Structure 1
Amino acid sequence: MVIVLVSFVALAKIFCSMYVNLIRAFDTLQKLGSFMEMLFGGRYVLLLMSLFSIYCGLIYNEFFSVPFHIFGGSAYKCRDATCSDAHSAGLIKFRDPYPFGVDPSWRGSRSELPFLNSLKMKMSILLGVTQMNLGIILSYFNAHFFRNSLDIRYQFVPQMIFLNSLFGYLSLLIIIKWCTGSQADLYHVMIYMFLSPTDDLGDNQLFWGQRPLQIVLLLLALVAVPWMLFPKPFILKKLHYERFQGRNYGMLISSEFHPDAEPDSAREHHEEFNFSEVFVHQMIHSIEFVLGAVSNTASYLRLWALSLAHSELSTVFYEKVLLLAWRYDNIVIRLIGLAVFAFATAFILLMMETLSAFLHALRLHWVEFQNKFYHGDGYKFKPFSFASITDDDD
């Protein structure tokens, strides 16, 4: 087995060197066809995906679904001297937590799936809430750039309050539960925060003052909804009316000094303010954000599903293909098992799983992230390009 792992490390180094050389030779290889042009056009994206996959391997302390104690010994041990980590009834903690990432001893234990499922699900929520907050913050910079103070006061502020009063609070509970080791049921806490906010939390209380804080956060979330919906349309109507009255007043004064001057209604076409259209648009935007705050947060759980599927596929290929073939004392069967394992790893895990993860991540960026700040109101999207700047100068 050590020889196999060393061989995989050598192959990984060879592939890395080949990939770097391909990046350098892009100018000479970009005429190989449309597929190769697309592949080489995304070479830096693939490089970043490779680096982050290595980082995820370090987080889970795994290499080809094999756990490694990279950062020292485990913090857990068997309950008795005769058990093994893979078939034990449970592990007991006997020293400080593992210094980095997931403790490798969780792998193979009976509590592996409940532990990793809970960890990955909570990590997905934390990443999702962080990215959605970043999208709302970008909407502030958009409003600041266009000097639109109404969007700052009546969209950015209530959106930040609503999202963080509910799901920001959930993220805080997750972090507190991790730090304190509490056994509180966060599902129960969030559900009864709406159904029975004044009831005693009992064993689900994570910190002092949690119940009054939940009531305040719930009231803030309820206030944020009409804050997003009502003020902006009425303020726009008032500003439009004042602007229109001021222009009429100026034209009446000028017509007194210039009898030949035409009244404003005849000289200048005035665009009528459609209050119902503006109000319906704002109502749709508010409802979309409120419902999207729930659905978008749940959509980030696809990260949990992808990680779980990738981990289980890796385990199946390693245990049911490579190790199964290695049990036979036959060089032909071992070579066939190694070939099948290499093929499955390269084409299923590295190609199909990479494409699946890329598409899911692209969807999260396009829908859950960009709908917080990007509108595309009639302007064609033009990506930044030095070539287009040169063409404009010419």
Structure 2
Amino acid sequence: MLAIILGGIACFSPAGAETARAADDVIKIGEINSYTRLPAFTEPYRKGWQLAVEQINNSGGVLGKKLEVIARDDGGKPGNAVKIAEELITNEQVVLLAGTFFSHIGLAITDFAKQNKVLFIASEPLSDAMVWSKGNKYTFRLRPSTYMQSAMLAREAAKMPIVKWATIAPNYAYGKDAVNAFKTVLKELKPDVEFIEEQWPALFKIDAGATVRALEAAKPEGIFNVTFGGDLAKFVREGSIRGLFDGRSVVSLLTGEPEYLDPLKAEAPEGWIVTGYPRDFIKEKMHVEYVKAYQDMFGELPQTGSLVGYNTILTIAEVIRKAGSTDTEKMVAAMKNLSFDSPSGEVVYRASDHQSTMGAWVGKTTVRDGQGIMVDWFYADGADYLPGDEAVKAMRPAD
């Protein structure tokens, strides 16, 4: 059994007053996600938090109370997510909100949390705005941000003897943030680089043929890719057929995550530098124990989403323990510099911008036994890829 830090949970009102809204022996957590819109990531994520809840409850709960996660599907629509948040707070009387995947939905709940003074632990959305330009007192983000993971790849790209780059990214907040961050960091590290082509396909509506032809026509030396899911598969397949990747360096956000690499099977690209999760090869004790517990419960290996879901519940347990209360303001105060051990190493939520230091693995893709895997990887600690507190002050509104 994993060593888990246990605390306790009661209930709160949106204004922050601690009340007896929930049953005496149950603590309700509101969870919102796009389960039907992107099941490849969100279903493993659900299994991750289910495992953590079971382990905590089997170990006595949190301050003697059982955790109960009330999960709702937003269908990939911000309006749905906000209505669900209202229902969870008003009718289900949850003590806090957690979850969301897509950036635009995460931003909608970020604003809801601010307006309603509700703690929101954003598990998965990657938009930098959540903790910087649109950050607020009540929102904290777990997963390594767009900026962090783009910076990880930019540092690797700066080592390459090439200067002409093209980018391809979905045309919404996450894609735009990723391209901007990659450009900014790479230019800081290597001022002579040029960005000679940009492609912005609509999310999950990529015209892979036209996109590949445009990139090939620009003749870049390197490509920064931000597509994922079905768009990634189409881009990889079309690019391989047309020889787009031959003799070119590619750095690619998220592509090493099993959710996206596994479906490619033998079509996985060779030699791309990616952020991801080489779960089969990580040997740290807590991670090995976590993988075994996950396999015992679900009969399969965890995905990146599984780890995010698991760490979400660890966050909730630890913040309540630290606060000694479920009063919203006490929990918000406790989230600042909150730290805990996880299967991915120590996680700290920075007081300056409410971003966690959860990192990611960086390595190269290859195909082995008909399956794409990551090789030559290393763990990139998120703390090493974030701007300093003074820089954050210039980007973030005062709480």
- Larger RCO (CA within 8 A; separation ≥ 6): 2
Q: Same fold (TM over 0.5)?
A: no
Structure 1 length-normalised TM: 0.27
Determine which structure has the larger strand proportion and give its number: 2
Q: Name the larger-Rg structure.
A: 1
Structure 2 length-normalised TM: 0.26
Determine which structure has the larger helix proportion and give its number: 1
